[in-house]
């Protein structure tokens, strides 16, 4: 049966019968009408949560409200308003999307088309509608707004719109692939749909996605004024599309699709099916009949949902969500507020950390041993802010205000008022101990003392102080402004309050925190070290740097290991490797010649020469033949296939991660995956390192590690925990059994 408006009215009962009474009554309380003369406002205020979501029962509720409005001939315009402080509508209910993956494709598609029809119903109502957006309107939230005739949006920073479905391995399924291109034209729509990025009011207005922008305080008044005038004219809107010149020239659309696809494949190496499918759907439907287009969209959506890629991306979403709800400790004790802070050491990391604190409105004293170093720290912070201004993410006066929150000092004045001090001085235990002892004598009783060390023991450091319970690790990654992960290191004496404070504060900074116990390399560096060592062993075995980079990019890493080593710095890599060798012995033994190449000054990108030689133009690099000569590589053996190269690197990571888990260094298996995804960009479509390991099975990993161990050395010996899993047929995660495997 075709889902016309009339049919949909008839379908209401069957729609209702698929839902539980309690969800129907929840939706009735959450979405309701307020009438004011000729204007009906649909209020979105989902009970018991911070976010409005479009669950099936909420969609049914919307349909009921549309019909109720239609039965009142006085009403001439509809306005959608959210009562949530930072969210208009956060999108579909993701657990419902996940469940769709278990349903039969045809049933799922039929179900989805009913939900699509709710928005089509709204679009075809004889009276106009306005989405008055304050806060996030993403996914289904934006698709609802796109089904309205008009959109108004506040200019508040928390108001952002986008279609992030590809980040969950699916495509927009409630008309987004149809209505967005019709509204803003192909190029802009593809940009949003293929990247999943969210845009602010300025960009949304420029691209024609919203009609009007209003200050937050005036949204309600302005939207109602507009609605009253529309109620008189009853003017519906036609799509008038912001088609670019390229789309209008003959053959132009074809070029737009081809360019988009090429760019996408370069970026994703074909690992993400959803954006490719989005291109396919839009290409097949653009400019055609809307109903037919919606059908194609629904079918494509259902083909993607439940695939391993989508399941894994959804699991990453839930991992992130779990971090948001977590407090960082089992006791659930609340963290202390951080209003005044200080950073000691104004180097690469200290400058970046001070910038981040100031960006979030936290006062920060930046201390170093001399003014030259402090000036450098200010320069680092200023450069990051300046980039944000250039990208129009902040206004010049906001830069000035934020910089004013950073105060330089060569002594400890003002430290007694700090809630948190982050130490980021040179990586030297004795120097750090001294700094902590000095800090203890100047800060208040409640001040938390955190170290940004990447390898030193927090327990040992804390023992140099009188109150070791307030000493904790707060390990940022470089560059601070870009890398989402913060490893929070709990030493043997660290209190729950100290952990909770850093956990809560890291989230406030917009970072993803993971709590780990003290141990050499913590989680990320301990897993990365054998991976990067192996890259050098592979060089010795004759694998070209570009080849190994390509193999690992194809696997899903954001950059290959040779490039990553150059980014980190071969000197730093060698130093970390040495520390971990000291701690764990032979399996972490650094490859030969590393000290030599460091002595030769091949430190990586920072010296212009590392494994690659870097040219002046962005991205320009060639292999550093001088370094290769030092390594005296063998000729690559035919048995060393690309697959073996990939396994040598990835299975070593799995092996080390299994040890970390077995040693109880993390609270949950998922902490390792969160750390690797947000600390190294480990292939999100694989759901994280250990979810990837589960997809292969412990038995196969163990037997492959044994083969590698016989061929390439003892470092590949499977650890005990993996062997046990292999014998039991166990997995790291509990089996959920969902999805099309
Ligand atoms: P850096 O050498 O750039 O900066 C260190 C700064 O500390 C210098 O400005 C120095 O003058 C200052 N300093 C030294 N002794 C001091 C003292 N007693 N009081 C005040 N200031 C003092 O180093 P960095 O790369 O910023 O690293 C700092 C810390 O962060 C180290 O523990 C490092 O292991 C860790 N870390 C570094 C990275 C990275 O990639 N660079 C990443 C994560 C963590």
Task: Using the mean position of ligand 1's atoms as its centre, give its distance from the Cα of residue 432 in Å.
Answer: 10
Length of the chain counted residue by residue: 741
C-alpha span between 539 and 548 (Å, rounded): 9
C-alpha span between 161 and 192 (Å, rounded): 10
Query: Which two tokens mark 654?
Result: 């799995």
Secondary structure percentages of the chain, helix, strand, coil, to 5: 55, 10, 35
- Does 425 sit in the ligand 1 pocket, CB within 6 Å? yes
Q: CA–CA distance from 499 to each of 128, 493, 517, 655, 661 (Å)?
A: 52, 11, 11, 28, 20
Contact (CB, 8 A) for 529 and 521: yes
Nearby residues of 189 by Cβ (< 8 Å), 6 or more positions away: 180, 181, 183, 282
pLDDT band at 381, cuts 50/70/90? very high
- Note the pLDDT tens digit of each residue in 233-263: 999 987 666 677 777 777 888 999 999 999 9
- Does 500 sit in the ligand 1 pocket, CB within 6 Å? no
Query: Which two tokens mark 646?
Result: 């990939």
Nearby residues of 275 by Cβ (< 8 Å), 6 or more positions away: 166, 171, 193, 194, 264, 268
Which contiguous run of DSSP H or E holds residue 138? strand 136-138
- Note the pLDDT tens digit of each residue in 131-146: 999 999 999 999 999 9
pLDDT band at 738, cuts 50/70/90? very low
Task: Using the mean position of ligand 1's atoms as its centre, give its distance from the Cα of residue 536 in Å.
Answer: 27
C-alpha span between 25 and 90 (Å, rounded): 20
pTM for this one?
Answer: 0.92
Residue 740 confidence (pLDDT): 34
Picking from 547, 580, 579, 578, the residue whose alpha carbon sits closest to that of residue 562 is 547
Picking from 171, 175, 176, the residue whose alpha carbon sits closest to that of residue 310 is 171
CB atoms within 10 A of CB 450: 28
Which ligand 1 atom is at minimum distance from the Cα of 427? 32
> Active-site residue among 309, 487, 534, 553?
487
- Note the pLDDT tens digit of each residue in 540-592: 999 999 999 999 999 999 999 999 999 999 999 998 999 999 999 999 999 99
Whether residue 1 has pLDDT greater than 60: no
Picking from 8, 22, 214, the residue whose alpha carbon sits closest to that of residue 122 is 8
Which contiguous run of DSSP H or E holds residue 182? helix 176-184
pLDDT band at 2, cuts 50/70/90? low
- Where do the domains of the chain lie? 5-306, 340-519
Residue 250 confidence (pLDDT): 78
Residue 14 confidence (pLDDT): 73
Please state which CATH number belongs to domain 5-306: 3.90.226.10
Residue 98 confidence (pLDDT): 87
Nearest CA to ligand 1 atom 1: 347
Whether residue 69 has pLDDT greater than 50: yes
Residue 240 confidence (pLDDT): 63
Q: Are strands 420-423 and 621-623 parallel, antiparallel or unpaired?
A: unpaired
Picking from 436, 131, 159, 176, the residue whose alpha carbon sits closest to that of residue 297 is 176
Residue 179 confidence (pLDDT): 96
Q: What superfamily would CATH give domain 340-519?
A: NAD(P)-binding Rossmann-like Domain (3.40.50.720)
Query: Which two tokens mark 233?
Result: 């004219």
Contact (CB, 8 A) for 674 and 548: no
**Mean pLDDT value across residues 180-191:** 94
Topology agreement, domain 5-306 and domain 340-519: no
pLDDT band at 736, cuts 50/70/90? low
Angle between helices 5-17 and 56-70 (to 10 degrees): 140
pLDDT band at 8, cuts 50/70/90? confident
> Does 143 qualify as catalytic in the annotation?
no
Quote the DSSP letter at residue 649.
H
- Note the pLDDT tens digit of each residue in 316-333: 999 999 999 999 999 999
Task: Using the mean position of ligand 1's atoms as its centre, give its distance from the Cα of residue 456 in Å.
Answer: 13
Ligand 1: residue of 352, 424, 526, 606 to mutate (most ligand atoms within 8 A of CB) is: 424
């Amino acid at each position: 049966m075709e889902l016309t408006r009339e049919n949909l009215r008839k379908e209401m009962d069957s729609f209702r019968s698929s839902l539980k009474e309690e969800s129907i009554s929840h939706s009735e309380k959450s979405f309701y009408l307020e009438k004011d003369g000729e204007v009906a406002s649909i209020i979105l205020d989902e009970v018991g949560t911070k976010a409005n979501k479009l669950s099936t029962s909420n969609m049914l509720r919307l349909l009921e409200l549309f019909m109720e409005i239609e039965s009142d001939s006085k009403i001439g315009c509809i306005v959608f308003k959210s009562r949530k402080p930072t969210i208009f509508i956060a999108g579909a209910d993701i657990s419902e999307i996940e469940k769709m993956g278990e349903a039969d494709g045809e049933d799922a598609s039929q179900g989805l088309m009913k939900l699509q029809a709710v928005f089509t119903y709204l679009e075809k109502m004889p009276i106009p509608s306005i989405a008055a957006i304050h806060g996030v309107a993403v996914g289904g939230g934006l698709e609802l707004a796109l089904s309205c005739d008009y959109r108004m949006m506040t200019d508040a920073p928390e108001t952002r719109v986008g279609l992030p479905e590809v980040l969950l391995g699916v495509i927009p399924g409630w008309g987004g692939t149809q209505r967005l291109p019709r509204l803003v034209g192909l190029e802009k729509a593809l940009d949003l749909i293929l990247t999943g990025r969210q845009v602010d009011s300025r960009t949304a207005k420029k691209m024609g996605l919203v009609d009007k922008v209003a200050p937050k305080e005036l949204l309600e008044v302005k939207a109602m004024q507009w609605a009253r005038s529309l109620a008189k004219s009853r003017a519906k809107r036609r799509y008038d599309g912001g088609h670019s010149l390229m789309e209008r020239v003959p053959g132009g659309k074809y070029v737009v699709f081809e360019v988009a696809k090429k760019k996408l494949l370069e970026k994703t190496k074909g690992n993400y099916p959803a954006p490719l499918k989005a291109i396919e759907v839009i290409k097949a439907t653009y400019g055609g009949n809307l109903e037919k287009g919606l059908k194609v969209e629904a079918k494509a959506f259902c083909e993607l949902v439940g695939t391993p890629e989508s399941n894994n991306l959804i699991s990453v979403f839930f991992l992130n969500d779990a971090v948001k709800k977590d407090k960082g400790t089992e006791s659930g004790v609340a963290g202390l507020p951080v209003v005044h802070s200080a950073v000691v050491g104004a180097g690469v990391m200290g400058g970046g950390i001070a910038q981040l604190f100031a960006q979030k409105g936290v006062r920060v004293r930046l201390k170093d041993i001399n003014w030259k170093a402090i000036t450098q720290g200010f320069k680092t912070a200023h450069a990051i802010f300046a980039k944000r201004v250039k990208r129009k993410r902040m206004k010049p006066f906001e830069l000035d205000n934020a910089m004013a929150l950073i105060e330089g000092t060569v002594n400890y004045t003002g430290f007694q008022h700090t809630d948190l001090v982050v130490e980021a001085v040179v990586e030297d235990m004795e120097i750090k101990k001294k700094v902590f002892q000095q800090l203890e004598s100047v800060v208040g009783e409640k001040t938390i003392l955190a170290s940004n060390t990447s390898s030193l023991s927090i327990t040992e450091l804390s023992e140099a102080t009188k109150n070791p319970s307030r000493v904790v690790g707060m390990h940022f990654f470089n560059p601070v402004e870009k890398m989402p992960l913060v490893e929070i290191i709990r030493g043997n004496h660290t209190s729950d309050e100290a952990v909770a404070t850093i956990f809560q504060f890291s989230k406030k900074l917009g970072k993803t925190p993971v709590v780990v116990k003290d141990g050499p390399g913590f989680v990320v560096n301990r897993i990365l070290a054998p991976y990067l060592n192996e890259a050098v062993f592979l060089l010795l075995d004759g694998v070209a740097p570009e080849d190994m980079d390509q193999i690992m990019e194809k696997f899903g890493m954001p950059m290959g290991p040779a490039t990553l080593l150059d980014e980190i710095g071969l000197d730093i890599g060698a130093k970390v490797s040495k520390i971990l060798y000291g701690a764990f012995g032979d399996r972490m033994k650094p490859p030969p010649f590393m000290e030599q190449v460091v002595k030769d000054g091949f430190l990586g990108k920072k010296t212009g020469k590392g494994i690659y030689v870097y040219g002046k133009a962005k991205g320009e690099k060639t292999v550093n033949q001088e370094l290769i000569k030092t390594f005296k590589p063998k000729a690559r053996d035919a048995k060393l296939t690309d697959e073996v190269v990939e396994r040598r690197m990835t299975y070593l990571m799995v092996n080390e991660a299994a040890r970390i888990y077995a040693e109880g260094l993390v609270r949950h298996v998922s902490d390792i995956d969160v750390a690797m995804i947000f600390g190294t960009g480990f292939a999100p479509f694989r759901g994280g390192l250990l979810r990837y390991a589960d997809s292969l099975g412990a038995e196969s990993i163990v037997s492959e590690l044994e083969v590698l161990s016989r061929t390439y050395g003892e470092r590949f010996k499977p650890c005990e925990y993996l062997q046990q899993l292999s014998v039991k047929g166990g997995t790291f995660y509990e089996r959920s059994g969902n999805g099309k495997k």
